[in-house]
Structure 1
Amino acid sequence: MHRPAVLTARQAADLIADGDVISVSSSSGLGCPDAVLAGIGERFAETAGPRDLTTLHPIAAGDMSGIKGIDHLARPGLLRRVVAGSYPSGPSKAEPPRIWQMIENGEVEAYNFPSGVLYQLHRAAASRQPGVFTKVGLGSFVDPRLTGGRMNDATPERFVRVEELDGEEWLFFPSIVPDVAVIRATTADEHGNLTIEEEASPLGALDLAYAAHNRGGLVIAQVKRLAEGGSLSPQQVRIPGILVDAVVVAPDQMQTTQTPYDPAISGQLRRPLSALDPVPFSLEKVIARRAAHELRSGDVVNLGFGVSALVPHVLVEEDLAGAVSWVIEQGAVGGVPLLDFTFGVSVNPDAIMASADQFTLLQGGGFDRTLLSFLEIDRTGSVNVHHLPGRRHVTAGVGGFADIVSAAPEIVFIGSFTAGRRDIAVDDGGLDIRTDGPHTKFVEQVASPTFSGAHALARGQKVTYVTERAVLQLRPEGLTVTEIAPGVDLERDVLARSAFPLLVSDELKAMPAEIFQPHRTGLRLPAAPPHSRIAALRSRDA
């Protein structure tokens, strides 16, 4: 019977060879095998090895709080290349995470690719396919006709290619084969079988393990505890022991790197929603309330980080918590997604899918709409969410954003109209813009496109932009203002605050006055139409 080695984190680090490609399963602080990564950093500090590693991260490893995740490896000489869907973000006024300092200084080659594509690349490597053909990223900074996902001048020019198949353009990402996969679970038995009962998501652990194992590599699993061989329920095992070569026990492993175990996040109990903290009345809450008006009861809706994450909590406040099924890229389906740096998990989820499988839903457009944040919007409707010049470390990168917008039937971008110090009061059912932000987010051309407005129009997607003072739509003739907030002057506060001319709808109307009041709004969502075949059946039976 197979029995993996049980090692300390420092011993596991000795398994890493110079030049290895290491794939890490994590999502910021969620599911991060931090002890093993710390062990590799400890070995390098002691021995100056291993050297020249390439690391793969479908979603970031580590978060903004201290030296965690990839920052254990962010040392010149240890790290040669990083390929990641996202990177740890940090506050704008604090020292950037180590990995960002290395990227900015040109001390490491670095690519930023869509998270879903990176998961698919692992599946391609596991099944010995040459790579991934996808439309995800076309027209964005990932497109090699722009930057090809390169994050600095030290990074080689060519990785992604544009290919034509049957008269259509596709991006081609060649397979990357990992030598080592570092994954995380809750329990390992003596045969290496892994269960994830206290994890908020399996993320892509199985796919990473397959990719390394099938190509002759090693799989190192960090767990919280060991169990007797054969004592784990086969139905609960998410990674079979035949794939696991070494186990590292980290008994103080938390559910995320910042939060202890919460059974309502891992689906082991349901917590009363009254236990959730209410969202304070603010300008951001006003924006989230208006975005909620884009929803329908029965919708399946994807959700991104930022202001958009407030929308589920607005629905809770309006007694509409079950009206919408939320799907987030880390794997939760249903429930109420949490906020800030616990984003990525949900309280009371209906299901917890592998992140790699969740991206199959998202890339295929199997949902009704997505709510996402933005940094900049330009005259073509293109959006930048990943690149803040001079402060790139404040952002996390593309993550699953490009995967999600590639096929979403409807996209709702949510954020403030301007940036910087400002004084905008929510007063008497409307806005009072006393001092506006000095920087408009509606710019002539975005610094780097994460989303292409031209491609969205060609695909027939409905795109809406919700801000505190105006709602706009992307139309073939241009970006068009369809609603303005009570108290807002259209010319002074909207049109003159855009760096390019905005169109104004002939049916311009006021945003709902009730969203600007501190009390509940009485929101009611129209019902989503049934599937066309269900509707036809009901019509026939009637």
Structure 2
Amino acid sequence: MGMGIDIRNRIAKRAAEEIKDGMVVNLGIGIPSLVPNYLPEQMNVIFHAENGITGMGPSPMKGEEDENLCNAGGFPVTVIEGASYCDSAISFGMIRRGRVDMTVLGSLEVSEKGDLANWIVPGKKVPGMGGAMELAQKAKIVIVVMSHTDKHGKAKIVSECSLPLTSSSCVNIIITEMAAFQVTTEGLVLTEIFTPHTIEEIKAKTGCEFQISDLLRIID
């Protein structure tokens, strides 16, 4: 069962709060692509796509799409004034040099140490690890946005990932439809709860221990 658009937007809105003026940000496909809708108008952010765009704009209006202009997921995009194009070798050069300040991506599992497993879907043909490996290692801040549990109700935040890792101890923040966690050297810290969820429910649906922040925030 997929998440409703309201919940997806709520997660994207929370992720957008982490973006600061002047950042270069890489967005994964799915929920991350909704993040630009929640940035303040006057904020200057450069969105990077690993297929070679620096300076992506909002999604085009229906009928306005340019078939040659898409993001790494193959979805149509627009570009802002001053945008530039390059090949994917240069694009990955930017990532590997640490020029990308933040990446927002989905995941299948995240461990309490911030290990990321998001490239292999059990029982499905997979296109390969893709850009996530580099981004997870080299972006200065890694934010994972995902559902709290899988479609069978199994926790996706776990003490150890059971799926092959994309990258180890790379995740800084996890945002789900229930909660937000900071990954620290002492383990996970619950920093926010989305109403109507409760700490008890989050404990029951999280596959590892976590601490609760003294400054716990309830988001309506």
Counterpart residue number, 2:64: none
Query: Could you give the per-residue CA deviations for residues 152-174 of structure 1, whole angstroms, max 9, x where no partner exists?
Result: xxxxxxxxxxxxxxxxxxxxxxx
Amino acid of the residue matched to residue 408 of structure 1?
A
Instruction: Confirm or deny that 1:401 pairs with 2:132.
Output: yes
1:380 to 85, 104, 113: 113
Structure 1 unaligned segments of length 5 or more: list them: 1-279, 421-436, 457-461, 514-542
Amino acid of the residue matched to residue 212 of structure 2?
V
SS at match of 1:296: coil
Amino acid of the residue matched to residue 327 of structure 1?
H
Instruction: Confirm or deny that 1:361 pairs with 2:94.
Output: yes
Instruction: Confirm or deny that 1:311 pairs with 2:35.
Output: yes
Counterpart residue number, 2:204: 496
Amino acid of the residue matched to residue 326 of structure 1?
F
Amino acid of the residue matched to residue 465 of structure 1?
I
Q: CA deviation at 1:408?
A: 1.4
Instruction: Confirm or deny that 1:483 pairs with 2:198.
Output: no
More helix by share: 1
Separation in 2 of the partners of 1:328 and 1:307? 15
Separation in 2 of the partners of 1:441 and 1:328? 26
C-alpha spacing 1:346/1:332, structure 2 compared with 1 (3 Å): farther
1:324 to 34, 40, 45: 45
8 Å Cα contact 2:32/2:104 also seen in 1: yes
Q: CA deviation at 1:281?
A: 4.8
Amino acid of the residue matched to residue 509 of structure 1?
R
Q: CA deviation at 1:373?
A: 1.0
8 Å Cα contact 1:309/1:337 also seen in 2: no
TM-score, scaled to structure 1: 0.35
Counterpart residue number, 1:538: none
8 Å Cα contact 1:330/1:358 also seen in 2: yes
8 Å Cα contact 2:112/2:183 also seen in 1: no
Q: CA deviation at 1:337?
A: 6.0
Counterpart residue number, 2:144: 413
Separation in 2 of the partners of 1:319 and 1:375? 32
SS at match of 1:357: helix
Query: Could you give the per-residue CA deviations for residues 183-235 of structure 1, whole angstroms, max 9, x where no partner exists?
Result: xxxxxxxxxxxxxxxxxxxxxxxxxxxxxxxxxxxxxxxxxxxxxxxxxxxxx
Separation in 2 of the partners of 1:374 and 1:353? 27
Separation in 2 of the partners of 1:314 and 1:497? 28
Counterpart residue number, 1:298: 22
Separation in 1 of the partners of 2:107 and 2:96? 20
SS at match of 1:288: helix
Separation in 1 of the partners of 2:89 and 2:48? 13
SS at match of 1:290: helix
1:452 to 168, 177, 180: 168
SS at match of 1:374: coil
Query: Could you give the per-residue CA deviations for residues 492-514 of structure 1, whole angstroms, max 9, x where no partner exists?
Result: 2x111112212222222223x3x
Asked which structure has the greater RCO (Cα within 8 Å, sep 6+), the reply is 2
Q: CA deviation at 1:487?
A: 1.8
8 Å Cα contact 1:313/1:336 also seen in 2: no
SS at match of 1:370: strand
Amino acid of the residue matched to residue 209 of structure 2?
P
Separation in 2 of the partners of 1:504 and 1:475? 12
1:351 to 84, 90, 104: 84
Separation in 2 of the partners of 1:337 and 1:289? 15
Query: What are the within-5 Å matches in structure 2 for residues 91-130 of structure 1?
Result: none
RMSD after superposition: 2.2
SS at match of 2:138: coil
Q: CA deviation at 1:467?
A: 1.1
SS at match of 1:406: helix
Query: What are the within-5 Å matches in structure 2 for residues 137-176 of structure 1?
Result: none
Tell which structure's C-alpha radius of gyration is larger: 1
Query: What are the within-5 Å matches in structure 2 for residues 19-58 of structure 1?
Result: none
2:216 to 508, 515, 518: 508
Amino acid of the residue matched to residue 357 of structure 1?
I
Structure 2 unaligned segments of length 5 or more: list them: 60-70
Q: CA deviation at 1:306?
A: 2.0
TM-score, scaled to structure 2: 0.83
| Matched pairs, number | 203
Separation in 1 of the partners of 2:77 and 2:51? 10
Separation in 2 of the partners of 1:413 and 1:385? 10
Q: CA deviation at 1:341?
A: 5.1
Separation in 2 of the partners of 1:506 and 1:314? 27
**Percent identical:** 30
Q: CA deviation at 1:471?
A: 0.6
Separation in 2 of the partners of 1:444 and 1:369? 24
Query: Could you give the per-residue CA deviations for residues 302-339 of structure 1, whole angstroms, max 9, x where no partner exists?
Result: 11122111112333xx645x631101100111122657
Q: CA deviation at 1:340?
A: 9.5
